[in-house]
Amino acid sequence: MDRVALRGLKGLGHHGVFPEEREKGQIFVVDVVLGLDTRPAAADDDLTRTVHYGVVAEDVVGVVTGEPVDLIETLAERIAEKCLQHETVQEVEVCVHKPDAPIAVPFDDVTITITRSRV
């Protein structure tokens, strides 16, 4: 299976369990790796036979900026579901970064990574 990756997609989301997270919001960063067979598109040089990564990027950011959820696990699941709606995508790995998570000690990032497929 071939891979198309989008890294560092950013959006202001209002996700989290604390009221201040819901009110103020924060930037979430998302990486997605899409698994698909790119041979048909490459053979015909035809965008319609692959995944349009510009559209996927807009979809992902739309989920991030959309309906708030408590957990980044839920956010990752919703992003994966959205990516799998694209016909050629057979598998997706989603990594959601929450670099401004409300943690009381110094840290660089909090992430969750999930993999989902059409099985």
* Active-site hit among 10, 24, 82, 98: 98
Q: Confirm whether 82 is a catalytic residue.
A: no
Count other C-beta atoms under 10 Å from residue 102's C-beta.
12
Q: How many domains does the chain have?
A: 1
Residue-range definition of the domain harbouring residue 86: 2-117
Whether the model pTM is above 0.85? yes
For residue 111, give the CATH number of its domain: 3.30.1130.10
Strand extents, DSSP E, the chain: 2-13, 26-36, 91-97, 111-117
Backbone phi, then psi, for 93, in 5-degree steps?
-110, 130
Q: At what angle do helices 53-65 and 72-84 cross, to 10 degrees?
A: 150
Q: What Rg value do the Cα atoms of the chain yield, rounded?
A: 15
Q: What is the pLDDT of residues 32-87, one digit of tens each?
A: 999 999 999 999 999 999 999 999 999 999 999 999 999 999 999 999 999 999 99
DSSP tag of 18: S
